[in-house]
Amino acid sequence: MGFDAWYTLAIVALSFGLLAWGVAAPDIVLVGALTLLLVAGILTPDQALSGLANEGMVTVGVLYIVVTGLRETGAISWIVQNILGHPRSTQRAQIRLMTPVVAMSAFLNNTPVVAMMIPAVTEWARRHHLSVSRLMMPLSYAAIAGGTCTLIGTSTNLVVNGMLVDQTKLPGLGMFDLAWIGIPVVLTVMGTVILTSRWTLPERKPALTQVSENARGYTVEMLVEANGPLVGHTVQEAGLRHLPGLYLIEIDRQGDVIPAVAPEERLQAEDRLIFVGVVESVVDLQKIRGLVPATDQVYKISASRPDRSLIEAVVSDSCPMVGKSIRQGRFRTHYNAAIIAVSRNGEQIRGKIGDIVLRPGDTLLLEAHHSFANQQRNSRDFYLLSRLEDSTRPNHERALIALMILIAMVVSVAAGWLSMLKAALLAGGLMIITRCTRGRTARDAVDWQVLIVIAASLGIGQAISITGAAGGVAHGLMSLAGEEPRVVLGMIYLITTLFTSLITNNTAAVLMFPIGVAVAKTLGVDLMPFVVTIMIGASASFATPIGYQTNLMVMGPGGYRFSDYMRLGVPLNLLVGLIVIWLVPMIWPFVT
């Protein structure tokens, strides 16, 4: 290897060290490494910036828009309730999560599966007091493992199979040939995660799982819609006992009050539900399909529903509404805002919202136009105003449209009608055209940090490839393997896994395929064991967040550090390697 190759490897090693120690954010570290490679002349500007035009990176960005459409219409809540259910422990939650993800990833591109599930898992963890950091990494790992089960489960399998057919003229693998090795990989990954995550994954629960006794509590009334989906369901089935920091204290049923509501109590049309809880859970309550605010004032606000959000306002002593009930003061007419809930120094306020007499210091939860906080910021009527993020009520009427767009995207890719990028772009555009989401919301939904990390990683991968560093490392390690086929197979797996941790899985597979062909010819054995090993080694990337884009996608939502991946991912890679070395030669013998 020449100077350029050694320089590149030194930069990569330095980057890994900085990421492992958490010295700086991943995007800062990787962009810095890319800059050093560019300034040193290892990469041209076109090569360094090629990741910005990479199809996979753009696809991830567009999928954030698709997911926003699902979230804005409440389709995410449907996924939480109907697919993930109500787990009783972290281990059961992991099983409930990983099983459907494995099944979907065997036939669908991993990226949209993970993109769709991230917000659902976040909401699910918050509702059920689960540690989100013990769910996000299992989500990514399940998607990766599921992709090893079929030929179309991951693009890497298709790339290697295409090279096998084109370069060797051998027949390619069938759709389910990889299941012989993929299913044991799935069982190993799921079993290891479920049994060891208590020690290998960090415990970082959502903030609402531990609600302080001094937290500001709101009294809020919600009405069960007469023709809504909650009529006839028990309180437990409706998911009204799983919102952290929120308590259903009574039901007003046509004037009859039901206190100490039991989980088995069945909801009826026009039931008036009275809750007490913290503001974040009140926001969640507003998003449940079949529940509407008990006050009819929200329907009289001039702003359309997508243009509204929830705003907290503290009543001042100079507010003209002080000393009057909300109804008498005509609050909605005066401010074009409806009061959803009221908090008064921890006191439980009895009576209907409209009958509450306002006092100085009362904290109001308002539904109003997005601009309300800015318009009233200098008003003497309120001491403090703050808009709550992600508080727009879902447009449930468009949830079916959003789900149909998602299904159409998935089917078009699975059937080979469109590439993943084309399908995602069409789906994102349709989400905006059909008003499942709005342009402003779609722009804000994109996680630019993740996209920068992916783009920078691709640029660094280019340097590893063009300088000959990859080939030098591969041949150096191969010289240690000797001529025992099974030992060489294990070395091929380790090198492929190493490359996948540093560069993209497809690039690692492309680099390793000619090495596998050369090794098979040198040893005089069949090529297929090496082909399958390269497929699995390139796809099974668990040890670093930059090795696979789904690992990167869950890094932020899970609150992970670089070292968290290595703690669980390195043992997983080694276990999968043992399965490959043991099973592959049995299924695809060296000598036929």
- Name which of 294-298, 317-321, 430-434 the model is least confident about: 294-298
Residue 531 near residue 585 (C-beta atoms within 8 A): no
Residue range 337-365: average pLDDT?
80
CA distance 150 to 157: 8
Average pLDDT, the chain: 81
CA distance 343 to 381: 17
Tens digit of pLDDT for each residue in 547-586?
Answer: 777 888 888 888 888 888 889 999 999 999 999 999 999 9
Residue 372 near residue 337 (C-beta atoms within 8 A): yes
Residue 212, pLDDT score: 44
Residues 6+ apart with CB under 8 A from 212: none
CA distance 92 to 558: 18
Residue 405 near residue 352 (C-beta atoms within 8 A): no
Residue 303, pLDDT score: 56
Measured between its terminal Cα atoms, the distance across the chain in Å is 37
CA distance 292 to 484: 69
Secondary structure, 3-state, 218-264? EEEEEEECCCCCCCCCECCCCCCCCCCCEEEEEEEECCEEEECCCCC
Q: At 268, list the tokens.
A: 């009826």
Neighbours of 231 (CB within 10 A): 17
Tens digit of pLDDT for each residue in 158-190?
Answer: 778 877 877 777 777 787 888 899 999 999 999
State the sign of the Cα–Cα–Cα–Cα dihedral 357, 360, 364, 367: positive
State CA 405 to chain mean position distance: 19
Classify residue 114 by burial, with Cβ atoms within 10 Å: 0-12, 13-18, 19+. buried
Tens digit of pLDDT for each residue in 392-416?
Answer: 666 777 888 988 998 888 788 777 7
Selection from 89-103, 449-463, 498-512 with the highest mean pLDDT: 89-103
Does this model's pTM top 0.85? My answer is no
Residue 262, pLDDT score: 83
Query: What residue ranges do the domains of the chain occupy?
Result: 3-204+449-587, 218-387
Hey, what CATH topology would domain 218-387 get?
A: Alpha-Beta Plaits (3.30.70)
Residue 209, pLDDT score: 46
CA distance 509 to 164: 12
